[in-house]
Amino acid sequence: MTPSASQARIHIERMMYRSSIAVPGDSAASYALLKLIPAGGGAPGPLGLNIALVLDVSGSMYEEDGTGIPRLRRIQDAATAALNYLRPSDSLAIVAFAHDSQVVLPSTAIADRQRIEDVINRIDMFNVDPGGTAMDQGIVMGMTEVEKQLGGGKLSQVVVLTDGETSGEQACRQLAQQAGEKGIRFTVMGVGTEWNATLIKDLAKLANGKWAYIDVNDPEAAQKVFAEEFASLAATGFLNVEMHLRAMKDIKIKRVRMVVPEIKELPLTEPEERHLVAQLGTLEKDKPSRYILDLSLPRRPDGKFNIATIEVTYDTGSGRRETTGQFPLEVQYTSSGQGYVNAEVAKHIDEVQIYELNKNLQQAIATNNAAEVQRVAQTIEKKGELMGPRAAKKTMLARQVLDELNRGGRVSKKTQLAVDDAARAAEELPTS
C-alpha cells in the first residue's frame, strides 16, 4: 500500500459524543463520529463506468397509475435523461427481463448515444415474454456483460429495476453475493408497491450497493431516482474503501453505522484480534461521508487515552491499495463528571434512533400488531418534533401511519415503503 498520512486523499476527522467521560462502573457506553472527507478528487482522471441496466418489461409496467403515462415510458424517459451524467468513454449494456430475459444491447460506449437511446425507447419491442418476472435471469445477463470489462480502473455496477415479485429469489441472493465478491455493486430500484422490499434490500446489502424506491403516483419520481443514481456513479473517486479499526485492550467497538449520505449498519469482519474492518464501498469526489461508532469504554484514571486507531484504505482506479495512515481516536477521562455533549454527534445519533424505531415499526406492521404500531409511530412523531425541521418528513409520515391505522385499521404498503425510504435518508446539515 502507498503509505503516508500527509499524502492522504481521504482526510479523517474524529470527535467523541462528549468532551470528556466519567465511568463510575466497570464500563460505559459512548459514541464517536468519524468524518471521511475526500480531498483532491481521488483518481487523477475520471473513473470509467461499466454499467448494466437491467429493466423489467413485464405486463404490469404498462400501468399508468393515474399519471396518464405508462410506468415503462416514465422509466425509459428517466434512463435516457440520466445518460447526460455519463462520459463518452463510459459503457452501458441493457437487459430486458420479464418471463425470460434478453441482452438487448451488449456493452456499448456512451459515445454511441443514438444507438443506446434507440434501444431504450424500443426495449419492449424485443422478443421477451411479458408474462412474468424472472429478475434472476436478467441479473445473470447483466453481470455477464459487466464482467467482460471488469477492472482497469472502472466502477462496475448492475442497476436493476422491477415493479413486481420475482421468481428465483434465492438465485438472486446468490448472484448478489457473487457480485460482491467480484467487486460488482448492485443498485436495485423498486417501482410501485408490489415488489419484495426484503429481497431488494438483501440484494443491495450482499452486493455492497443500495436500493431505491420509486413512487409510481409521482410523475417526477423516476427522473429523480435515475438522475441521483447516475450522477452519484459519475462522481465516484474511490473504489473498495475499507475502514480499519484497531481497538486498544478492554475497548469494545460494538457497531458501525454510516449516517451520511444514508443511514445503514455496516457489517464488520475481524481478520485478527481487536482489528475490525468495515467495507464502505465507494466514495464520491469531494463528498464527505460520516459514521457513528458504538463503543463500550472501561474505567480509566483521569487523563487522555488513545482508545483505537483509525485507518482507511482505498483504490483510486489504479488497482493499487492506498492508505490514509493510522490516526488515533482519543478520549478524555475525568472523574468529576460528564463533559458537554457535541451537538453534531448528537444530531446523528437522533437520526439513528429514528432509523431503529422505524425498523421496530416495520416489524409491528408485518405482524399486524396494531397497538405496537401505534406506540412506535407516536414515539417517532415525538422524536421528530424534538429534532425540528430536519425531521419534518419523518414526522409527517409517522402521522400518516397513525391516520391510516385509526381510519382503516391497517397501514398501506405505499406508506410503509415511504416510511422506510425516509428513515434511512440523511444529509449534510448545519449544526446550529
pLDDT per position as a tens digit, 117-159: 999 999 999 999 998 899 999 999 999 999 998 877 789 999 9
Number of domains in the chain: 3
Question: 10 Å Cβ neighbour count for 218?
Answer: 13
Handedness of CA 421, 422, 423, 429 (dihedral sign): positive
- Pairwise CA distance, residues 74 & 81, whole Å: 11
314-343: pLDDT as tens digits: 988 887 889 999 999 999 999 988 999 999
Q: DSSP for 81-106?
A: HHGGGS-TT-EEEEEEESSSEEEEEE
Q: Tell the burial category of 393 from Cβ atoms under 10 Å away from its Cβ (0-12, 13-18, 19+).
A: middle
Q: Which of 11-15, 19-23, 48-52, 395-399 has the lowest mean pLDDT?
A: 395-399
413-428: pLDDT as tens digits: 999 999 888 888 875 4
Asked whether residue 338 is domain-assigned, the answer is no
245 in the same domain as 384: no
pLDDT reading at 431 higher than 50: no
CA distances from 422 to 204, 213, 243, 317, 347 (A): 17, 10, 26, 33, 16
- CATH number at 9 reads 2.60.40.3670
358 in the same domain as 323: no
Question: Average per-residue pLDDT in the chain?
Answer: 91
80 in the same domain as 104: yes
171 in the same domain as 89: yes
179 in the same domain as 101: yes
Per the structure block, which three cell numbers stand in for 136? 434472476
Asked whether residue 136 is domain-assigned, the answer is yes
66-114: pLDDT as tens digits: 999 999 999 999 999 999 999 999 999 999 999 999 999 999 999 999 9
Q: For residues 359-373, give the mean pLDDT.
A: 91
Q: Which pLDDT value is given to residue 346?
A: 95
272-295: pLDDT as tens digits: 999 999 999 999 988 999 999 999
Asked whether residue 430 is domain-assigned, the answer is no
193 in the same domain as 105: yes
Boundary-marking domain end, from 310, 333, 356: 333
For 385, the domain range is 343-424
Asked whether residue 305 is domain-assigned, the answer is yes
Q: What is the largest CA-CA distance in the chain?
A: 75
Q: For residues 404-413, give the mean pLDDT.
A: 89
Asked whether residue 26 is domain-assigned, the answer is yes
Q: Which pLDDT value is given to residue 5?
A: 40
